[in-house]
Amino acid sequence: MSVHATPRTESATPTTPHPRLGLILTACCLGQLMFVLDVSALNVALPVIFADLGFDQTSLQWVISAYAVVLTGFLLLGGRLADLLGQRRVFLAGIALFTLASLAGGLAANGGMLVAARGLQGLGAAIMVPATLAIIGTAFTDPTRRSKAFGLWSAVAGGGATIGVIAGGTITELVSWRGALLLNVPIGLALVALAWRVVPEQRRSEGSRKLDVAGALSVTLGLMALVYGVSGISDNGWGSTRLVAGLAIAVVLLGFFVVDQARTEQPLVPLGVFRNRSVSAANVVTLVANAALGSMFYFIAMLLQQVLVYSPTQTGMSYLPLSLGIFAAAVGAGALVPRIGARPVLVTGLVLAAGGMAWLSLAHEGTTFVGGVLGPLLLIGLGEGLTLTSSTGAATTGLPPHQQGLASGLLNTTRQLGGAVGLVVLVVFVTAEITAASAAGGGPISAMSAGYSLAFRISALFLAVAAVAAFAVPRKAE
């Protein structure tokens, strides 16, 4: 399959602007908002879920892990399905599945039912989220408008997580943890109605809808094995059977996937797409950067609550500067990238975020919000907003409409994989640092302060490495 081939589509001519661009963008942003709201809101509710459904410390992680494993494994397939079966059709299917799974989770009678519902949510998100980017990339044919649309999408992606933290804490405290899941039901129903009316269909011609089943199975199971193995490091150690087996299975399956893609006539991921320097470089940068940015909310929450002794409500409100920074920078970057290119915006964002992480590593017991938290959170927010928008634009640049789903699925897979691996690695180092500090005679708060400080220093290093790698992204679209 040629990367530059332009297939016949069932929609209007791609160069003709769609008359409902604003509503299309609203639908895509609402889909992304529902996704990020759920993730952040449920994290806040975990302690209550632990007590209510009788989880133990080992099994509780599966409320998060079941979602992350399925989501990461199916993202690439979800993006490709949008190209083959139709962007609107797949988007609607993803919304419906995510909404039904949210309803099942909110009504779960025991831990097993909740974990199963979370897995189905992950599958729904893997279908829905890549479709949002594919729809934007196809509907917005003008580069300037497309960049601004990506900026708004990125602003929702970053800022929505803060809204989720605040909403999740409030709903859990005033109503129930179940409300954090059931909130998705009315949003999902409204989104189905909106998407059905305004999102145009876009897919390949009838004769080109063959799915590479072997490739789909191998990459999905390979990524799931990788995330499953790595997610157990913090509990089972680096030499555990779970990690070794997970990595071994992942290597075999992903190796088979690469060989299969090179040989099959209709590959899931045409390897020629990586000849596009913007796409390949943006995904490498995203993988490294998200090892830090994907773990950020977890460690900031731990710092605020366990070291600075903030209440859950104070913690949620403290994220507002971060959210505002993300939103402002993401929207601004949407207008800036078409003028000066993705590379300078991406490098600037990564440097700002790295500086914010390094600054936040200085926070300790007694640090005031204005004196040592506000500034770092603003810097990190501005950096992440610039990074989200510019990397999204770079990762979808130079590809025809029928490969926008592929590009968005690939980018989201990279983000999730980087975040999942980064969090586990950082938790291992943080745990070791806290243990060492406690053994040296430090008090609990002092030990935790040392551990979280290390997490932010390592995160700053990840972001600095990503900033260097970002120089491989073309300054202007190729």
- Domain assignment of residue 27, yes or no: yes
Q: Are residues 414 and 295 in the same domain?
A: yes
- Domain assignment of residue 29, yes or no: yes
Q: Are residues 167 and 235 in the same domain?
A: no
What is the 3-class SS of 406-447, one letter each residue?
HHHHHHHHHHHHHHHHHHHHHHHHHHHHHHHHHHCCCCHHHH
- d(C-alpha 439, C-alpha 451), whole Å: 13
- d(C-alpha 354, C-alpha 370), whole Å: 19
Identify the burial level of 61 via C-beta atoms within 10 angstroms of its C-beta, where 0-12 means exposed, 13-18 middle and 19 or more buried. middle
Per-residue pLDDT of the chain (478 residues), as tens digits, is: 333 333 333 443 344 555 678 899 999 999 988 888 887 788 777 767 877 887 765 566 678 778 887 888 888 888 888 878 888 999 999 999 999 999 999 999 998 899 999 999 999 999 998 888 888 888 888 888 888 888 888 788 777 777 887 887 788 778 888 988 998 999 999 999 999 999 887 765 454 567 778 888 888 888 888 888 887 776 777 778 888 998 999 999 999 988 988 888 778 788 888 888 888 999 999 999 999 998 887 788 788 878 898 876 787 788 888 888 988 898 888 888 888 888 999 999 999 999 999 999 999 888 899 989 999 999 999 999 999 889 988 887 777 777 777 787 788 888 888 887 888 788 888 888 988 988 888 788 888 899 999 999 999 999 999 999 999 998 765 4
Return the structure tokens found at 385.
């907003």
Q: Are residues 188 and 236 in the same domain?
A: no
Q: Are residues 136 and 240 in the same domain?
A: no
- Domain boundary residue, one of 267, 284, 313: 267
Q: Are residues 176 and 262 in the same domain?
A: no
Number of domains in the chain: 3
- d(C-alpha 382, C-alpha 384), whole Å: 6
Query: Tokens 């942003």 identify what position?
Result: 29
What confidence score (pLDDT) does residue 309 get? 84
Q: Are residues 313 and 460 in the same domain?
A: yes
The number of CA neighbours under 13 Å toward the Cβ of 252 is: 8
Q: Are residues 179 and 279 in the same domain?
A: no
Q: Are residues 195 and 219 in the same domain?
A: no
Q: Are residues 158 and 303 in the same domain?
A: no
What confidence score (pLDDT) does residue 4 get? 36
- Domain boundary residue, one of 229, 252, 267: 267
What confidence score (pLDDT) does residue 169 get? 75
- Domain assignment of residue 13, yes or no: no
Q: What is the pTM of this model?
A: 0.79
- Domain assignment of residue 4, yes or no: no
What confidence score (pLDDT) does residue 17 get? 52
- Domain assignment of residue 12, yes or no: no
What confidence score (pLDDT) does residue 95 get? 96
Q: What is the CATH number of the domain that holds 101?
A: 1.20.1250.20
- Domain assignment of residue 10, yes or no: no
- Domain boundary residue, one of 267, 282, 304: 267
- Domain assignment of residue 2, yes or no: no
Q: Are residues 137 and 172 in the same domain?
A: yes
Find the domain containing 248 and state its range.
Answer: 212-267
Q: Are residues 223 and 366 in the same domain?
A: no
What confidence score (pLDDT) does residue 2 get? 34
What confidence score (pLDDT) does residue 7 get? 36
Q: Are residues 55 and 178 in the same domain?
A: yes
Residue 478 is given by DSSP the state -
- Domain assignment of residue 413, yes or no: yes
